Chains A and B, each alone.
Chain A
Amino acid sequence: MAEPLVFRFEVDGDNFTSAGQASVQVKKNLRELGVDPETIRRVSIAMYEGEINMVIHAKGGVAEVIVSDESVEIILRDSGPGIANIEQAMQEGFSTAPDNVRSLGFGAGMGLPNMKRYTDYMHIDSVVGEGTTITMKVNF
């Protein structure tokens, strides 16, 4: 493909039932493009974790996925509370998720570490009180 393909999704902020819709759609799109299963799995998990974070912390946001010849890039933007200490947030097990979220099986403090684990590049831009933008890349 010459021109990168761009998919854009609104992530609904207060709906755990539909959380993951964007990731599931991306998975479907990548499969139709003939992307290999392991790359699809890595993109899907990283994006789903990001989507869940947006639902838990930021009342939703916007997800953009750019498929080029070299990589799948995922950009997640929200206008949530921001991350005060990114280094701490990146530690496995550190979580600020409320109890109702934990009872669903989320909020174990593994979201950001998983996003890093499954991607080749990850960058967090966050301003407390303004929002967070996370950029991730999975190379082919």
Chain B
Amino acid sequence: MTVNELAQYKGFTAVAMPDGEREIKGVYIGDLLSWVMGRAKADDAWITIMSNINIVAVASLADTACIILAEGVSLDASVVETANAKGVNILTAEMPAYETATAIGALT
């Protein structure tokens, strides 16, 4: 499933989609950025509640397919702008992290 396709589903909203045709191949949940860099795999959808600007660099360098902000966490406009500039996809989900992950699992 591509990031664009995921964004069409109920409960998910696209916030920044500079590279929406990327394929999602797995899921990683985590808020500690070095854990994410150490453990997430390339092409994972990364579910987090962290919303500071550094998540964009982490997602870009760890080469995840997208960031999904769970629990309806909102983002500063500057983060969205940076994500678009760096080619990092960001979605929000109203659900908590677990439900978000299981929803993706059910779709793939």
Which residues of A pack against B, CB within 8 Å? 16-17, 19-20, 23-24, 27, 37-38, 40-41, 44-45, 48-49, 52, 104-106, 108-111, 113-114, 117
Contact = CB atoms under 8 A, between A and B. Distances in A.
B63 A106 contact: no
B34 A41 contact: no
Interface residues of B, number: 20
Interface in B24-50: 31-35, 37-38, 42, 50
A102 to B, nearest CB: 9
Contact of B54 (A19, A45, A113): A19
Contacts of B55: 105
Contacts of A49: 34, 37
19 contacts: A19-B54, A19-B57, A20-B54, A20-B57, A23-B57, A23-B61, A27-B60, A37-B42, A38-B42, A44-B63, A45-B62, A48-B58, A49-B37, A104-B54, A106-B33, A106-B54, A108-B35, A111-B34, A114-B38
B52 interface: yes
Contacts of B61: 20, 23-24, 27, 41, 44-45, 48
Contacts of B1: none
A106 B30 CA distance: 12
Interface of B: 31-35, 37-38, 42, 50, 52-55, 57-58, 60-63, 86
Contacts of B37: 45, 48-49, 110, 114
Give the secondary structure class of B's interface.
helix
Nearest to B51: A105
Give the secondary structure class of A's interface.
helix
A40 B60 CA distance: 11
B38 to A, nearest CB: 5
B22 to A, nearest CB: 12
Interface centre among B37, B53, B54, B86 (most CB of A within 10 A): B37
Nearest to A17: B53
Nearest to B38: A114
Nearest to B63: A41
A105 B42 contact: no
A30 B33 CA distance: 23
